[in-house]
Amino acid sequence: METLSIAKSFEGTQGVYRHRSDACQCDMTFAVFLPPQARERPVPLLWYLSGLTCTHQNVMDKGEYRKAAAELGVAIICPDTSPRGDDIPDEKDNWQFGSGAGFYLDATEVPWSANYRMATYVGEELPELVAANFPVDMNRQSIFGHSMGGHGALTLALKNPGRFKSVSAFAPISRPMVAGWSRPAFEKYLGADEAAWRAYDSVALIEDGHRVPELLVDQGKADGFLDDGLRPWLLEEACEKAGIPLTLNMRDGYDHSYFFISTFMADHIKWHAERLS
């Protein structure tokens, strides 16, 4: 593991790191913020998964998470959203597929299956690396994310009961199997058999019996992707039928941007910290 940068922030440290990924068969970059409490003891870990077109850098620069994380003694890890490199297959003119759009799934279709294995990377490989190199308590993990990353956070939590103490999302893609901006990517990554898609769709997972103790979702009412891509009411209906407590905050005037995320970031970190304590 190579350290790319270290900076002091709110008495903690913001680091950026690079390593060779066996899952994705390329170099991967991720960011970790360690609060000042990590100098004395292992601290709980909160995963943040970013959305389409993003890298680890977007939330690190615009997410405004470090002050709350330092005050509450929580480490924040921000992985990349896809494999990257000149040798990685891509559709350079398609922002909804390929580089920056890994959808936190393991592709099964050639040529994507060789590298686009983000479910294994985020769910297995990166946690092992983090546990071996940082003073974090892997028995106290939670997860959240934005948009495509909200989809990833929900699906990982639903498929790994007991691993995460809590899960939340900003404007998640609630039903990617049917959403206009994710359905084409699912077909390219996973093939034409829609039965295979259900493992990466939050509503389908809930329908199929997967559960989490509770959910927190924030969604902007002025989000331009609300009707075609996000559809939080589908998640709300699935949670109601399954008996999963869902707090869905529909925020007047807020869009899909980091202005929205940064406004409610501290609320989410506090909510997770309470469940990690």
Residues acting as catalytic residues: 147, 223, 256
Residue 28 pairs with which residues in a beta bridge?
19
DSSP-derived 3-state class of residue 143: strand
Alpha helices in 48-142 (DSSP H): 56-62, 66-72, 118-120, 126-133
d(CA 149, CA 172): 7
Token code pair at residue 184: 């084409």
3-state class (DSSP) for residue 195: helix
Whether residue 111 is preceded by a cis peptide bond, meaning omega within 30 degrees of 0, is: yes
Under a CB-based contact definition with an 8 Å cutoff, are residues 234 and 266 in contact? Answer: no
Task: Specify which residues 5 forms β-bridges with.
Answer: 16
The token duo for 111 is 């040529």
CA distance 193 to 248: 31
Q: Residue 236 and residue 240: Cα distance in Å, rounded? A: 6
Task: Give the list of residues 6+ apart from residue 212 with CB closer than 8 angstroms, or none.
Answer: 157, 158, 161, 164, 167, 244
